Chain A
Amino acid sequence: MSEKQRALEALARAQWRLALTLTAAMMAIYFGFTLLVAWAKPFLATQVAPGLSIGILLGALVIASAWGLIWVYVRWANGHYDATVTSLREPRR
Chain B
Amino acid sequence: MTTSLGHPHPAAIFWFFLFVAVTLGITFWAARRTRSTEHFYTAGRRVTGLQNGLALAGDYMSAASFLGIAGLVSLSGFDGLIYSIGFLVGWPVVMFLIAEPLRNLGRYTFADVVAFRLRQVPVRIAAAIGTLAVVTFYLIAQMVGAGNLVKLLFGIPYETAIVIVGIVMMAYVLFGGMLATTWVQIVKAALLISGAFLLAGLVLARFGGNPLALFAAASDRFGAQVLGPGQLVADPLDALSLGLALMFGTAGLPHILMRFYTVPDARTARTSVTYATAFIGFFYLLTFILGFGAMVIVGPDAIKAIDKGGNMAAPLLAEAVGGTGFLGFIAAVAFATILAVVAGLTLSGAAALSHDVWVNVVRRGKAPEREQFVVARVATLLGGVASVALGIVFKGENVAYMVGLAFAIAASANFPALILSIFWRRFTTRGAQASMIVGTFSALLLIFLSPTIQVSVLGRESAAFPLKNPGLVTIPLSFLVGMLVSLLTPEREASERFAEVQRRVHLGPEAGAE
Assess A38 versus B234: contact at CB under 8 Å? Given A30-B243, A44-B229.
yes
Q: Which residue of B lies closest to A46 (CB)?
A: B228
Q: What number of A-B contacts does a CB cutoff of 8 Å give? A: 162
Q: Which chain A residues lie closer than 8 Å to B285 at the CB level?
A: 60, 63
Assess A47 versus B82: contact at CB under 8 Å? Given A8-B502, A23-B93, A31-B243.
no
Q: Which chain A residues lie closer than 8 Å to B233 at the CB level?
A: 34, 37-38
Q: Are A67 and B278 in contact (CB under 8 A)?
A: yes
Q: Which chain A residues lie closer than 8 Å to B236 at the CB level?
A: 34-35, 38-39
Q: Are B228 and A41 in contact (CB under 8 A)?
A: yes
Q: Are A47 and B499 in contact (CB under 8 A)?
A: no
Indicate the member of A23, A35, A52, A70 with the most B CB atoms within 10 Å: A70
Q: Which residue of B lies closest to A29 (CB)?
A: B89
> B239 near A: Cβ within 8 Å?
yes
Pick out which of these stretches binds chain A: B121-129, B177-185, B211-219, B348-356. B211-219
Q: Are B212 and A62 in contact (CB under 8 A)?
A: no
Q: Are A8 and B234 in contact (CB under 8 A)?
A: no
Q: Are A44 and B506 in contact (CB under 8 A)?
A: no
Pick the contact of B224: A5, A16, A45, A82 (CB < 8 A): A45
State the CA gap A91–B376 with chains docked (Å).
38
Q: Which residue of B lies closest to A21 (CB)?
A: B96
> B508 near A: Cβ within 8 Å?
yes
A window 41-67: CB within 8 A of B: 41-42, 44-47, 49-53, 55-56, 59-60, 62-64, 66-67
Assess A88 versus B234: contact at CB under 8 Å? Given A34-B240, A73-B96.
no
Q: Which chain B residues lie closer than 8 Å to A27 at the CB level?
A: 247
Q: Which chain B residues lie closer than 8 Å to A12 at the CB level?
A: 502, 505-506
Pick the contact of B514: A2, A47, A77 (CB < 8 A): A2
> B91 near A: Cβ within 8 Å?
yes
Pick the contact of B216: A9, A41, A50 (CB < 8 A): A50
Q: Which chain B residues lie closer than 8 Å to A11 at the CB level?
A: 506
State the CA gap A86–B92 with chains docked (Å).
24
Pick the contact of B91: A5, A60, A70 (CB < 8 A): A70
> B187 near A: Cβ within 8 Å?
no
Pick out which of these stretches binds chain A: B12-20, B138-146, B269-277. B269-277
Q: Are B243 and A63 in contact (CB under 8 A)?
A: no
Pick the contact of B239: A4, A37, A51, A64 (CB < 8 A): A37
Q: Are B507 and A42 in contact (CB under 8 A)?
A: no
State the CA gap A15–B422 with chains docked (Å).
12
State the CA gap A17–B361 with chains docked (Å).
36
Interface of A: prevailing SS: helix
Q: Are A30 and B506 in contact (CB under 8 A)?
A: no
Q: Are B506 and A49 in contact (CB under 8 A)?
A: no
Q: Which chain A residues lie closer than 8 Å to B97 at the CB level?
A: 19, 23
State the CA gap A26–B288 with chains docked (Å).
21
B window 178-224: CB within 8 A of A: 211-219, 224
Q: Which chain B residues lie closer than 8 Å to A19 at the CB level?
A: 96-97
Q: Which chain B residues lie closer than 8 Å to A51 at the CB level?
A: 211-219, 227
Q: Are B240 and A66 in contact (CB under 8 A)?
A: no
State the CA gap A82–B266 with chains docked (Å).
10
Smallest distance from the beta carbon of B90 to chain A beta carbons, Å?
Answer: 9
> B235 near A: Cβ within 8 Å?
yes
Assess A77 versus B270: contact at CB under 8 Å? Given A23-B93, A53-B215, A67-B281.
yes
Q: Are B229 and A55 in contact (CB under 8 A)?
A: yes
Q: Are B506 and A42 in contact (CB under 8 A)?
A: no
Interface of B: prevailing SS: helix
Q: Which chain B residues lie closer than 8 Å to A93 at the CB level?
A: none
Q: Count the A residues whose beta carbon is within 8 Å of the partner chain — how many? A: 55
Smallest distance from the beta carbon of A45 to chain B beta carbons, Å?
Answer: 2
> B115 near A: Cβ within 8 Å?
no
Q: Are B81 and A59 in contact (CB under 8 A)?
A: yes
Q: Which chain B residues lie closer than 8 Å to A78 at the CB level?
A: 267, 270
State the CA gap A44–B233 with chains docked (Å).
13
Pick the contact of B508: A35, A38, A73, A89 (CB < 8 A): A89
Q: Which chain B residues lie closer than 8 Å to A41 at the CB level?
A: 228-230
Pick the contact of A22: B96, B243, B284, B508 (CB < 8 A): B96
> B357 near A: Cβ within 8 Å?
no
Q: Are B288 and A8 in contact (CB under 8 A)?
A: no
Chain B residues engaging chain A, CB cutoff 8 angstroms:
78, 81-82, 84-86, 88-89, 91-93, 95-97, 100, 211-219, 224-225, 227-230, 233-236, 239-240, 243, 247, 267, 270, 273-274, 277-278, 281, 284-285, 288, 423, 499, 502-503, 505-508, 510-511, 514
Chain A residues engaging chain B, CB cutoff 8 angstroms:
2, 4-5, 8-9, 11-12, 15-16, 18-20, 22-23, 26-27, 29-31, 33-35, 37-39, 41-42, 44-47, 49-53, 55-56, 59-60, 62-64, 66-67, 69-70, 73-74, 77-78, 82, 85, 88-89
CB-CB nearest 10 A-B residue pairs:
A45-B228, A51-B216, A51-B215, A53-B227, A51-B212, A38-B236, A19-B96, A50-B216, A30-B89, A37-B229
Given A12-B502, A44-B228, A47-B227, 19 more A-B residue pairs with CB atoms under 8 Å apart are A15-B506, A23-B96, A26-B92, A30-B89, A35-B239, A37-B82, A38-B236, A41-B230, A45-B229, A46-B228, A53-B78, A55-B228, A59-B82, A60-B285, A73-B95, A73-B96, A88-B507, A89-B508, A89-B511
